[in-house]
Amino acid sequence: MATQKKVLGNAFAQIVGKVLSVIASFVVVKIVTSFGKEFYGNYVTVYEFLAFFGIIADSGLFAIAVREMSKKPKDTEFILANIFSMRLLLILGVTLLAGISAQFIPSYSPLIKMGIWITGLSMALTIVAGTLSSVLQARMKIQYFSGGLVLGKVLLALFIFFIARNMDIFGMSEANLFLTMLLAGVISNLLFCGTVIVFVSREIRIRLGFAFEWWKNIFRNALPYGLALILQTLYLRVDVVIISLLLTASAVGVYGVSTRVLESFLVLGVFFGQAILPKMSSEEDNLTQHSKTLVWGMEMLLLFSLPIIIGISAFSSNIVSLLSSSDFLSKPGFLGSDTLLLILIPTVLFAYLNQLFSFALVSQNKQRYLLIVNGLALGANVALNLIFLPLYGLLAAALSTVVCELFVFGLLFRYVLKRFTLPFSFSNIFRILFMNGILAGLIYLTPLGKNFTMSAVAGSLLYFGMVWMQRKRFLIHHS
């Protein structure tokens, strides 16, 4: 039970930090979208393009580092030193690769190409912070990382707000405004990275290591997972890149609002998976306990993904309107961000479970299967977008994402069922479904559901009240 409390505490710290940083990010979205769909489309294009290269710089090393530190806590300093050196070399190579390759894409304007160089610095700082945070993750002290993330995002929101309000005073053109906003991201990530360095240095000495034989062994383990992560990022984000190549910047902007909301929730599943990874890694040789932990993780993700789906589905228009403007809402003959969000939001449940299954396989050193699954998903998503995007527009991109997430879930769940004997508690599953049924009834069947703010407040209090009453059952059932 104590370990599960630590897992939940670690995940809760990340979730609270992410919620606060998401609020700050939504402020940024609100401000940037006020300059129009094309302006925001360019902003999204820069960050989405770099997302591919950012995951290459990871190469699976973060998860492998956490796993190794959890198994061998006495070797934490040695592991971090060598992982840090490896990541720095990857960061340098990948940042250069991203900036140079963008120059050869004819559909990207000179403004986007310049923006990619600037944002490459933000990416590098984020990866450095993420690398160092593996120590905090393995020791379940991730709240310090979350605090740095919040500080960085709040600073970014303040910078963007100040720049947008004073652009006329400074005589900024729209192009200069765009680049200055990207530069603000670099400054905010400097604060984020600096905060992480301070707290990690309190745990261990930060240094570089060059044990090349160890590098060879760790790369052998990390490479399949790293490639799997690259392919996962590609199949989740390739639709935005294809839209930027085949459609207009405005289309990217419309699709970008819905995916920004979706990604803000999807990352919570990543955080939970990272929080539970140290526990699963320590249970590598105990399949019985590992199976119990996996079922417990599935219950937690089901418990918190269903209310997200219910709430977002009911108020997708309100959320898009709050984060952007009426220009992004659906109208006759125009598929807006609200409808796209409505289509995309059910993937939260399957994406959460897919992250849990992925980390379970990593803890068992079964990364190669992930590589196969994500490769198939990427091929399917590219094919679906290339065939249907020119015919059906953004609707095809959204449905392709849903189909691919379901496809990955089916393959991973099938493998997990073969590998583990899962002691499901149907009583717990029924209770989760029952609580969400009550929440759905409140939103869809009562007058309260007509008011977004009142529903959010009342629904949150009701649901978390029910969860609190059942906390002992879900916390200790699989201990």
167-178: per-residue pLDDT in tens? Answer: 888 788 888 999
Alpha-carbon gap, residue 125 to 146, rounded angstroms: 15
The predicted-structure confidence for 204-242, as pLDDT tens digits, reads as follows 888 999 998 888 887 777 777 667 767 777 777 788 888
Token pair for 320: 């898009």
Alpha-carbon gap, residue 461 to 446, rounded angstroms: 16
Instruction: Determine, yes or no, domain membership for 408.
Output: yes
DSSP 371-391: HHHHHHHHHHHHHHHHHHHHH
Instruction: Determine, yes or no, domain membership for 378.
Output: yes
pLDDT of 432 reads 92
Spacing of C-alpha 255 from chain mean position: 17
Alpha-carbon gap, residue 431 to 459, rounded angstroms: 17
Range of the domain at 304: 2-424
- The structural domain count of the chain equals 1
pLDDT of 2 reads 40
pLDDT level of residue 260 (50, 70, 90 thresholds) = confident
Instruction: Determine, yes or no, domain membership for 463.
Output: no
Min mean pLDDT across 144-148, 204-208, 349-353, 363-367 is at 363-367
Question: Up-side HSE of residue 164: CA atoms within 13 Å toward CB?
Answer: 18
Token pair for 366: 């079964």
Instruction: Determine, yes or no, domain membership for 307.
Output: yes
In the predicted structure, residue 467 carries a pLDDT above the cut 80: yes
Instruction: Determine, yes or no, domain membership for 358.
Output: yes
What value does the mean pLDDT take over residues 98-121? 91
Token pair for 22: 């998401």
pTM across the whole model? 0.71
The predicted-structure confidence for 283-342, as pLDDT tens digits, reads as follows 767 777 878 888 888 888 998 899 999 999 999 999 999 888 888 999 998 999 999 999
Instruction: Determine, yes or no, domain membership for 470.
Output: no
